[in-house]
Amino acid sequence: MDSKKKIFIIDDDSFLLDMYALKFSQSNYEVTTALGSEPALAKLKEGFVPDVMLLDIVMPVMDGFEFMEKIKEENLATNATIIILSNRGQPSDVARGESLGAAGYIVKASSTPSEVIEKVHSIITNLKK
């Protein structure tokens, strides 16, 4: 059996953060969370290296796109699979996420937590092929 995948969930909504953290830990993931992009950036700068980052777009101070630009600029978590989990699902947002290196884009409003886990697992599994 594989060792647990380290997933880093970044969102500014503590309720969603806790709920997804619980769901992913129940699905055999090692979960780390950050309440917003600034604490997330600090954690990565301290040397935390996740396998997967689940990233919200709409956050105060630095949105998810800016966060992706910043970690790319600073060469942080270069091998992490980034998956955007946002309520913004406009084609322009999806295209921007992909252009910044996101491996997947999940719209929160149209996915149950269980579906989010399935989609994340599917994205990770398909990348291995």
36, pLDDT greater than 50: yes
pLDDT, one tens digit per residue, over 85-120 is: 999 999 999 999 999 999 999 999 999 999 999 999
Whole-number Å distance between alpha carbons of 33 and 110: 22
Global model pTM greater than 0.75: yes
2, pLDDT greater than 60: no
pLDDT, one tens digit per residue, over 49-62 is: 999 999 999 999 99
